[in-house]
Copies of this chain bind each other. A is one copy, B any other.
Amino acid sequence: MSTDRLIYLPLGGAGEIGMNAYVYGYGRPGKERLIVVDLGIAFPDMETSPGVDVIMPDIAWLVERRDRIEAVFITHAHEDHVGAIAHTYDQLKAPIYARAFTSNIARRKMEEHGHPEEAITTVSAWPEVVQAGPFAVGFLPVSHSIPESSSLIIDTPEGRVIHSGDFKLDETPLVGEPFDPEVWAEVSKDGVKALICDSTNVFSPSPGRSEASLGPEITKLVEKAKGMVVATTFASNVARVKTLAEAGERAGRSIVLMGRAMKRMIEAAVETGVLTDFPRIVPPEDAKSIPRENLMLLVTGSQGERRAASAQLSRGKYQGMEMKEGDLFLFSSKTIPGNEKGVIRIMNAFSEQGVDVVDDSNGLYHVSGHANGPDLERLTAIVKPQVLIPMHGEHRHLREHVKIANRNGMTGVLAVNGMMVDLSGNQPTIAEYIDTGRTYLDGSVQISAMDGVVRDRIRMALNGHVVVTVILDDEDEPLGEPWCELKGVPETGTSKAALVDVLEADLAQWLARAGAKTLRDDDKLHEGIKRTVRNTSLDEIGRKPEVTIVVSRLS
């Protein structure tokens, strides 16, 4: 009797949207051979992670088991799936497998970080499979908002598992393979142990629309535009970029690509043969000599990113181009929650320039890349898995998706980051809880979200920072007056005197009254100074700043 087991362990992406990282294992408990599916990042914000560059899943669990990792499989080239491969390569050193387009993007990342490109192996689509220890893994093409997105067919000694990756059911996706229900029926016909499934759009009640539905509407919009037309979408949405470019071409406009990601993605799509017959592109430097009513710019920055082309155009010139009254700007995109203010800032800046802004509010110029509620049910009905495990979603999405599974007579498992699910046997069980978390790439350093570094930044941002310097002579007597430096704190308070003067006076008084015992004791000295600063500040400015105290003893 074998004690081998099949495990599933999300380290990121289950209970949040972003930084996907899923582990599958097979073998004796604690000795499983492992594969990793996706190693993505999430993006920081001022509220929770100011100053941070990139957020990654904490992969400590994997690093400790590095010798057991057979391979890393990347389902597609979105940052939340591939973004962490270069940042984690030194720690994992595992071979990485992906399809051509994803590999192309992944290699650029590896190269930027000085990692060997050979770490990445390009794999053809299903039925090709990669043998990785006890697993045989194939890339089954699915439609999504980026070329060559794939579900993974993971064959294990316990049966077949399908990891959906990000997908939608688009039978006319324009670029890349359409959804093919027959292929899905074929791969599922011998029974599927578990479907680990995208949950992003589980709350969307209507079936998703096809990418092909957008072309005619966008063409109409561009044709009736009088000035220059500028459109933004995710650069990686190559099908959309093509739709936009073709609409421009049909309207007799020259197409200009702006923003680094836009050029990189189109380049990758052409290099890998994903993209053929894209309209002719005019470089920005030549665009200036073309009448603006004959131009269509396709630019980065659909999420309001401050340094992308959209934001730069909203503030003035970008690569010699400038918006003018009567121009049209199209957001062919959905604003991700949290990015609203940045997008609205750009819309208003364009409005000030007299530019008409069109967004997706009427539903004509964007479709989602994720399967909606009814689409999830449709796929599940084809696959008929024994177990459905929702992933790629916040807790509320996963929970709703489990409800759908149960409603359809399947076992649904709500597994969030850190919950190791044992898929062996007839009923899945929770085998273990693993500590998970977030790692911040902060400048060039990786720190844990729990380190307190970012917490200190948030505190300084909320409260300001007062630095107190006190010098004590060799008899532990104050030498001169205490000295305060203020940063992020109002200059004057209720007494109308400079706050720095009031603080220094109060500290001088406190020091004068403090006994020799206090002055000799660093802890007591710090505590007294801190209390004085915070009390005086509260009186003067109604708040308690962060306090840093430097005591220099000349003794």
Contacts and interface: CB of A to CB of B under 8 A. Distances in A.
Interface in A349-400: 350-352, 354, 357, 361-362, 394-396, 398-399
Contacts of A46: 45-47, 50, 458, 461
Nearest to A442: B490
A518 interface: no
Interface in A461-515: 461-465, 467, 469, 471, 479-480, 483, 485, 487-494
Nearest to A403: B356
A131 to B, nearest CB: 38
Interface in A202-255: 203, 205
Given A344-B394, A467-B485, 7 more contacts: A46-B461, A458-B461, A460-B465, A465-B487, A471-B471, A480-B552, A487-B548
A554 interface: yes
A127 interface: no
A541 B47 contact: no
A67 interface: no
Nearest to A538: B443
A340 interface: yes
Contacts of A351: 394-396, 398-399
Given A46-B46, A340-B337, A548-B485, A461 B460 contact: yes
Contacts of A461: 46, 50-51, 457-458, 460-461
A453 B490 contact: yes
Contacts of A541: 442-445
Interface residues of A, number: 68
A378 B367 CA distance: 33
Interface in A2-38: 15
A321 interface: no
Contact of A491 (B205, B453, B457, B458): B453
Contacts of A453: 464, 488-491
A550 interface: yes
Given A444-B542, A445-B493, A462-B51, A337 B344 contact: yes
A488 B396 contact: no
A475 to B, nearest CB: 15
A456 interface: yes
A344 B47 CA distance: 14
Interface string A420-459: 0000000000000000000000111101000101101110
Contacts of A114: none
B395 A494 contact: no
5 smallest beta-carbon distances between A and B, as pairs = A444-B542, A443-B542, A443-B543, A461-B461, A457-B488
Interface in A39-89: 45-47, 50-51
Contacts of A340: 337-338, 340
A456 B488 contact: yes
Interface string A543-555: 1001010101010
A382 B548 CA distance: 64
Residue from A340, A357, A494 whose CB has the most chain B CB atoms within 10 Å: A340
A276 interface: no
A122 interface: no
A445 B499 CA distance: 11
Contacts of A91: none
A531 interface: no
Residue of A354, A357, A467, A494 most packed against chain B (CB within 10 A):
A467
B548 A467 contact: yes
B352 A341 contact: no
A348 interface: yes
Nearest to A489: B453
Contacts of A399: 351, 354
Contacts of A51: 461-464, 488, 543
Contacts of A395: 348, 351-352
A3 to B, nearest CB: 33
Contact of A550 (B15, B394, B447, B483): B483
Contact of A467 (B203, B337, B543, B550): B550
From A492, A550, A554, name the one whose CB has the most chain B CB atoms within 10 angstroms.
A550
A146 interface: no
A529 to B, nearest CB: 13
**Listed residue (A399, A483, A492) with the most chain B CB atoms within 10 angstroms of its CB:** A399
Nearest to A467: B467
